Amino acid sequence: MSVWTWLTLGGAAVLALAVVAELRRRLQTSAPGRRFFRHPTAALGLFVLAFFVTIALAAPVVAPYPPYYQIDIGHPNRPPSAQFLLGTDPFSRDVWSRLVYGARVSLGIGTLAMLVAATVGTAVGAVSGYFRRWVDATLMRLVDVGLAMPRIFVLLMAVALWEHIALWALVLLIGLTGWFGTSRLVRAEVLSLREREFVAAARALGAGAGRVIFRHVLPNAAAPIIVSGALGIGNMMLLEAGLSFLGLGVPSPAPSWGNMIADGWHKMAVAWWSSTFPGLAISLVVMALNAVGDALRDALDPRREAA
Amino acid sequence: MPTTRLARALATVAGLTGLIVVAGCERPTGCSGEYCGTLVIASGGEPDILLPPVSEFAITRDVTDQLFLKLADLGLSGNTIGDEDFQPQLAERWEWDAPTTLVFHLDPRARWQDGHAVTSADVAFTYDAYTDSLVNSSARSTLRHIAAVTTRDSLTVVFRFRQRYPEMFYDAVYQMRILPAHLLREVPRNQWRSAAFGRAPVGDGPYRFVAWKAGESIELAADSTFFLGRPHLRRVIWRFTPDQFVAVTQLIAGDADAVEVLVTPDNVQRARADTELATYPYKGSQYGYVGFNLAAPGDTTKPHPLFGDRDLRRALVMATDRERLLRNVLGEFAKVPPGPLSQLWWIWDPEIRELPYDSGQAARLLTRTGWTDSDGDGIRDKDGRPLAFRLLLPTTSAIRRQYARLLQEQFRIAGVDVQLDEVDFSLYNERARAGRFDALLNTWNTDATPSSGFPQTWTPAGFGRSNYGHYDNPDVDRLVDRAVASAANRDQARRAWRAAVETLNRDAPGIFLYATSNVAAIHKRVVDVTIRPDSWLALLRTWRIPADRLTDRDRVER
Amino acid sequence: MAAWLVRRLVASIAIVFAVVTITFFVVRLAHGTPCGPAGERPLPPDVCERQRVQFGYDQPLLVQYGKYLVALRHGELGESFGLHRPVADALADAIPNTFTLALAALLVDFALGLALGIYQAVRAGRFGDVAVGNVALLVNSMPVFWLGLVLLLVFAQWLRWFPAGGIHNPILCPRLLSPYCLLDFLWHLVLPALTLGLVGAAGTARYQRAAMLEVIRQEYVRTARAKGLRERRVLLVHALRNALLPIITLFGLAFPFLFTGAVLIETVFAWPGMGRLAVNAIFQRDYPVVTGAAVLTTTMVVLGNLIADVLYAVVDPRIRVQRGGRGGGGGSV
């Protein structure tokens, strides 16, 4: 069993390296691409992300045990060993297998929630920036209210006060509480872009507001959206982890990195591995996302000087 | 020059810090002798209000039992039948004027902490309060056999019962903590839950109330004039933590001296490994189980679509490896109960017949009743419906949460899909009472005797109260009545109880998972520790810290 | 300037009002009726019903809302039925604790962030810069409660250097009686403040590094250097003054983050602050406390933003002209 585990680990790492190398080669031809890879941590971040995405996608192959399988409940909390790479948790489930399957859930929730937030935020920001006047005023007041409420408070209230919450509802909620910053960003971009000639030209040619926004304005505003998106995934993952820690996130027995920390918290003194490794995984992935996001910001915005 | 200025600044800061450290390092010389000592108890819960009839919490009972006295208290043997094994407290002696008339003579030395004497009027007032529907004490039902409580003179109280039965003395004395009539008479009964008295109580017990910092601690100080003997421990402080795990952490870190239950095996391991702590095992009064809802959720006239079927319930019980589950969650600090029993009850008998763990038989039974995996998804189904249900449990219990996850997997292997409904405590109680659940993971803290708790949970007398699953078997009712009535005759009662439990086991209204054996951990310097299983701090006033083992904390004079 | 300030003030009040309304209705529209504190034996339904009437929960929602607003004007936040005391009292007990924690965390955050940022800027491009930068990035990416758990495990349980939670020693120091008690309080404060502060410090360091680098390259610094002044003086006096701007921005942004982090940290370290109060109230459906906490938190956040905006405008006159101020980054947790 363990030989296979090491093999798949190695395989995933090699695959990730290959992906990064290929990306680097392809992007060398464009200026933003070169700027991206000038960051020392950008390549590392990409590697980490590629690695985790690979093992998440190939979970049934990589994980030696099924994620729900309680191997020997009479003897839980086994330390890391040759057989159990990262040990077993208080329910005698293999931590490494759950980490791998948990990657699917955590990364999935983070990405989907970010997509929700980005969509709503972009829509609101674009409408607000394009139409201005009272539309802008009302929407931005709404955004102010949203930014004023501490996010976790709102989420706690929403999740705790309804009886049982489906996973998709959780994703939606996390996304819907996180779009306010993006909308401000997009609004700023749209405000400046709408004065440009190509917008005036499009309008002169009879394009409706929607068409102008979608075909002309937004593509040029894409850069900050993408950057905030990359950073946003990390924030959503941290939020899901916090909710799971308080007992309100992904329901058992499905593994998520957040509820793995929650499962092992009370046993930290005797079995530190159950909570430490998922936390480390979150840290690494979020760090990678931050690094990639930073590099993207520099790469896509030629006005900024790389520090 | 910047450097000398910097150096001067650093020197001043260092000097100030040094002064503070030196000033703070004074060792207070304070209390010495046999009557010093401070006990810090780390508790995973906080009382709601220190007024006995109004509160349901065990932690409130722990605190108020030091502040208020009962007429008489249970002896160490735990025998609840007759009156020979009870210890005098507020009443110095008692006698039976008639088979149904009990006369208490109060101890004239008893005093409320504001100076007033304790009189029989207080006892009558207390009885009136406990039986008042506006106060709605949970003890009301146990007092239903008492017809009246009257006073003969200022130190004599007369209890008149409606009938004679074996545990009448226990009912009269165990639940009621006598309250000061002169301080509570003016408070309207429907406002007792928020009365100011409840946050600054005045009692007649061995300890008096000092302070309550909400969310942090409650402090009590010993009453040096207590008529039954001056308590040796001068101060008792309860320190509140968010949960039991943090409480144990504080104990091991030396910030607390005592914890009521260590709960989990690794906590016990940590405590035993600590050279400063002594562990005290005692019989637990709790049992936990999965209760099936035999009625349809929200409609008690119809049977539950799944659990109305006795064979299905029996199959689920047989599919559960209770021993292995217990070993994972509680290690050696609990036993698998042979029915809905706690270890405290005298009717505990490992020989009681129950359904065995037999996954093969369980599988065969399920298949025979039509539940087969026709679509190959690992979950059994019948007529297109999957064998799936939701298990309700509160988020406040770490033990039950762990059991829930283990059970989920056990049932999944048997082909049953279980989803968890982990809800907050008040919602859990609401749904349990209303019957809006399929199955629930419940625990009961039992009284010292099964006579009141068992019928409340497993007979129609408990419909709308503790019998959440709506279990009803006339045979069990009959046997329980016979058992309670014959309580004086131990053997006869034991046979009746055994028959009742065995009949109940055959119906499988639930899966009886664990009956706790508690282990308390107390700092080694505290000696003469006696723990009574039904209330671990009942004999706190006899614990002491010898003069040669006092620490700084004990000596602080305040 | 005055007109702008009045506008911001009105907007702030409107925001608080909106949040109060939203919280009020969200909390009440949820499932489950409030029925007393968590206990082992639940209250029977008729007592529950009586409590509902007593607290006025059987009346139509709008009527309750109206009454709540009226009470709010008088500074009354209602009575908590979980804690059996006025909400304002419970909050008043809890707020100083969260406040000190937040303040200490901010201190750690800025002090450490500033120091690291300057160090990085001075050693720009060299190994010190890269190493610190990566470690800071990692720390900034950690789940704040996980970091707390790890620090608790290492420093409180294994090394026993710091206490394992709580706010004070209840026997020797139930109140701040003496300098010794002050030290005791600070000793309890270290781990939670460190946890909160470290995660923030990493972010601050990156900000400061960029700001410092930008300033270092400015003309006037070169001029000052050319004038022959000592390197250290040039850095500290001139560069720092301009690097203060991001600090003010971060101060405004820090409040929501601190509350979020505080909720989780207060749970891990058993710190009796507002975060823990609010979380427990949410779980127990203690409506008055939840709404009260929401009101207070939003007010603090909005106030923080307002102060930050004012300071910003005072420090940099160019900002006063712009509207919309700071463009938000990716939604901060």
Instruction: Give the pLDDT of residue C38.
Output: 42
* Structure token pair of residue B342: 């706690």
Torsion of CA B333, B335, B339, B340, to 10 degrees: 0
Query: Among residues 3-62 of chain A, which lie with CB inside 8 Å of chain C?
Result: 40-41
CB A70 within 8 A of CB A47: no
Do B405 and A252 make contact, defined as CB atoms within 8 angstroms? Answer: yes
Chain B residues in contact with A70 by the CB 8 A cut-off are 406, 409
CA distances from B108 to B124, B173, C128 (A): 17, 18, 80
The alpha carbon of residue C298 is apart from the nearest alpha carbon of chain B, in Å, by: 23
Average pLDDT, integer, range B356-364: 93
Report which listed range, B494-508, C48-62, C275-289, is most confident: B494-508
pLDDT band at B411 (very low <50, low <70, confident <90, very high): very high
Give the model's pLDDT for residue A55. 92
Q: What local confidence, expressed as pLDDT, does residue B357 receive?
A: 94
pLDDT of residue B179: 94
Query: What pLDDT digit, counting tens, does each position of A188-197 carry?
Result: 888 887 777 7
The two three-digit tokens of residue A26, written as one number: 């392809």
Q: Which residue from B72, B80, B153, B160 is spatially nearest to B119, judged by alpha carbons?
A: B153
Q: Does A304 touch chain C (CB under 8 A)?
A: no
Query: When comparing pLDDT for C8 and B38, which is higher?
Result: B38
pLDDT of residue A305: 41
pLDDT at B501 over 90: yes
Task: Inform me whether the pLDDT recorded for B467 exceeds 60.
Answer: yes
Percent of chain C with pLDDT over 90: 2
- DSSP code, position B527: B
B465 to chain C: which residues are within 8 Å by CB?
Answer: 44
Say if the Cβ atoms of C164 and B255 lie within 8 Å: yes
- So what's the pLDDT on residue C230? 62
Query: Hey, are the CB atoms on C256 and A179 less than 8 Å from each other?
Result: no
Count CB-CB contacts under 10 A for residue B463: 15
Domains of chain C: 88-284 (1.10.3720.10)
pLDDT for residue C308 is more than 50? yes
Mutate one of B357, B399, B402, B424 to test the A interface: name it (highest A CB count within 10 A).
B402
B399, B330 Cβ separation under 8 angstroms: yes
Tell me the C-alpha distance between A188 and A181, whole Å. 11
Compare B289 and A62 and report the one with higher pLDDT.
B289
Using a CB-CB cut-off of 8 Å, the residues of chain B touching C276 are 215, 242
Res C323 pLDDT > 50? no
Residue C330: per-residue pLDDT? 30
Sort out which chain A residues have CB atoms less than 8 A from C150's CB and list them.
276, 279
Percent of chain A exceeding pLDDT 90 equals 24
B307 pLDDT band, cuts 50/70/90, is very high
- For B275, counting Cβ atoms within 10 Å of its Cβ (0-12 exposed, 13-18 middle, 19+ buried), the class is exposed
CB contact set of C109 (below 8 Å; sequence gap of 6+)? C196, C197, C200, C201, C204, C254
Mutate to test the interface with B, among C81, C84, C145 (most CBs of B within 10 A): C84
Q: Nearest CA to B490 among B328, B346, B319?
A: B346
Cβ B270–A90 below 8 Å, yes or no? no
**B-C C-beta contacts closer than 8 Å:** 141
Summarize pLDDT for A161-185 with one digit per residue, the tens: 666 677 888 888 889 888 888 888 8
**Which of A161-175, B50-64, B146-160, B336-350 shows the lowest per-residue confidence on average (mean pLDDT)?**
A161-175
Q: CA B542, B543, B545: angle at the middle one, nearest 5?
A: 135
Q: Distance (Å, rounded) from C-alpha A211 to C-alpha A205?
A: 11
| B396/A contact by beta carbon, under 8 A | no
Structure tokens at C315: 């420090």
Q: What is the DSSP string of B408-476?
A: HHHHHHTT-EEEEEEE-HHHHHHHHHHT--SEEEEEEE--SSHHHHHHHHHSGGGTTTT-TT----HHH
Lowest-pLDDT range, B148-157, C19-28, C189-198?
C19-28
Beta B295-296 vs B101-106: how paired, if at all? Answer: unpaired
pLDDT digits (tens, 9 = 90+) for B479-494: 998 898 888 888 888 9
The per-residue pLDDT for B359 is: 92
Subunit contact A279:C16, Cβ cutoff 8 A: no
Going by pLDDT thresholds of 50, 70 and 90, the confidence category of residue A108 is: very high
Do B216 and C167 lie within an 8 Å CB cutoff? Answer: yes
The whole-angstrom separation of Cα B345 and Cα B330 is 20
* Bridge-based pairing state of the strands B417-423 and B388-394: parallel
Q: What are phi and psi of C330, to 5 degrees?
A: -55, 135
Output phi, psi for B455, to 5 deg. -65, -35
Given pLDDT bands bounded at 50, 70 and 90, which one contains residue C332? very low
> What pLDDT is recorded for position B439?
96
Q: Give yes or no for residue C42 having a pLDDT over 60.
A: no
β-sheet bridge partners, residue B161: B146
Among chain B residues, the shortest Cα distance to A253 is held by B405
The residue among C22, C149, C208, C295 with the most chain A CBs within 10 A of its CB, best to mutate, is C149
Contact check, Cβ <8 Å, B433/C42:
yes
Contact map slice: A 93-112 vs C, CB within 8 A: none
- The distance of C42 to chain B (nearest Cα, Å) reads 6
Cα-to-chain-centroid distance, residue A175 = 11
- By the 8 A CB rule, do B85 and B74 touch? yes
Whether the CA torsion C108, C192, A145, C76 is positive or negative: it is negative
Q: Which of A69, A156, A252, A270 to mutate to test the interface with B (most CBs of B within 10 A)?
A: A252
pLDDT for the residue B479: 92
B87: DSSP letter: E
DSSP-derived letter for residue B141 is G
**Do A91 and B406 count as a contact with CB atoms less than 8 A apart?**
yes
Cβ separation of A272 and C153 shorter than 8 Å?
yes
Residue B532 has pLDDT above 70, yes or no: yes
Q: Is B207 helix (H, G, I), strand (E, B) or coil?
A: strand
Least confident of B201-210, C54-63, C110-119: C54-63
Q: Which of C332, C97, C113, C92 lies closest to C192 in space, CA to CA?
A: C97
- What does the alpha-carbon distance between residue B87 and residue C130 come to, in Å, rounded to a whole number? 75
CB B207, CB B231: distance < 8 Å: yes
- Rounded to a whole number of angstroms, the distance from the CA of A238 to the nearest CA of chain C is 6
Contact A253 B325 (CB under 8 A): no
What CATH number has the domain spanning A105-300?
A: 1.10.3720.10
Q: Is the pLDDT of residue B41 over 60?
A: yes
List pLDDT tens digits, range C137-171: 899 889 988 999 899 888 887 888 888 777 776 55
For the residues B136-149, what does the mean pLDDT come to?
85
Q: Could you tell me the pLDDT band of residue A37, with boundaries at 50, 70 and 90?
A: confident
Q: Place C326 in a pLDDT band, splitting at 50, 70 and 90.
A: very low
Could you give the dihedral angle defined by the CA atoms of residues A248, A261, A239 and A229, in that order, rounded to the nearest 10 degrees?
A: -130
Residue B25: pLDDT above 60?
no
* Cβ contacts of B194 on chain C, cutoff 8 Å: 79, 84
pLDDT in tens, A63-102: 889 999 888 888 888 899 888 889 999 899 999 999 999 9
Q: A267 vs B266: CB contact, 8 Å cut-off?
A: yes
Please tell me the number of Cα atoms within 13 Å of A48 on its side-chain side: 19
C-alpha angle C260/C262/C266, rounded to 5°?
A: 135
User: Model pTM?
Assistant: 0.79
What's the whole-number mean pLDDT along residues A238-253? 84
Beta-carbon neighbour count of residue C66 at 10 Å?
12
Looking at beta carbons, which residues of chain C come within 8 Å of B136? 43-44, 46-47
Question: Which positions in chain C touch B445 (Cβ < 8 Å)?
Answer: 40
Nearest CA to B49 among B60, B62, B58?
Answer: B60
Task: Return the pLDDT at C325.
Answer: 36
CA angle A239, A244, A248 (to 5 degrees): 105
Rounded CA separation A249/C112 (Å): 33
Residue numbers in B near C46 (CB within 8 A): 136
Share of chain A above pLDDT 70, in %: 96
Q: Which among C36, C170, C180 is the nearest to B217, CB-wise?
A: C170
What pLDDT, on the 0 to 100 scale, is given for residue C55?
Answer: 60
CB interface of C with A, residues 283-302, below 8 Å:
283, 285, 290, 293-294, 297-298, 301-302
| Closest by CA position to B39, among listed B269, B280, B260, B285 | B260
Q: A with C: how many residue pairs have Cβ under 8 Å apart?
A: 183
pLDDT, averaged across chain B? 87
**Contact in structure between B77 and B283 (CB atoms under 8 Å):** no
Structure tokens that stand for B346 in this block: 């005298």
Of residues B181 and A188, more confidently modeled: B181
Dihedral pair phi/psi, residue B357, rounded to 5°: -80, 115
Q: Tell me the pLDDT of chain A averaged across its residues.
A: 84
Q: How many pairs of residues across A and B have Cβ atoms under 8 Å apart? A: 55
Mutation target for C interface from A153, A176, A282: give the one with most C CBs within 10 A.
A153
pLDDT, tens digit, for every residue of B107-127?
999 999 999 999 999 999 999
Helices C287-315 and C274-283 pack at an angle, to 10 degrees, of 140
Residues of C in contact with A306 (CB under 8 A): none
Over residues A29-34, the mean pLDDT reads: 80
Domain ranges of chain A: 105-300
Touching chains, C (3+ CB pairs < 8 A): A, B
CA-wise closest residue to B401 among B390, B388, B392, B410: B392
Which of the pair, B334 or B32, is modelled with greater confidence?
Answer: B334
CB atoms B214 and C83 under 8 Å: yes
**pLDDT band of B533, cuts 50, 70, 90:** confident
pLDDT, tens digit, 9 for 90 and up, residues A134-157: 888 888 888 888 877 777 777 877
> Given 3-state DSSP classes, what are the helix, strand and coil percentages for chain A, each rounded to the nearest 5?
75, 0, 25
Instruction: Select from C62, C70, C69, C71 the least CA-distant residue to C28.
Output: C62
Q: Which of B522, B521, B527 is nearest to B549 (CA)?
A: B527
What is the residue type of C29?
L
Tell which of C137, C153, C217 to mutate to test the A interface (max A CBs under 10 Å): C137
pLDDT in tens, C256-289: 666 666 788 888 887 888 888 888 887 777 777 8
R_g over Cα of chain B: 27
pLDDT on residue C282: 78
C-beta neighbour count of A122 within 10 angstroms:
25
CA of A242 vs chain B CAs: smallest distance (Å): 16
pLDDT at B314: 95
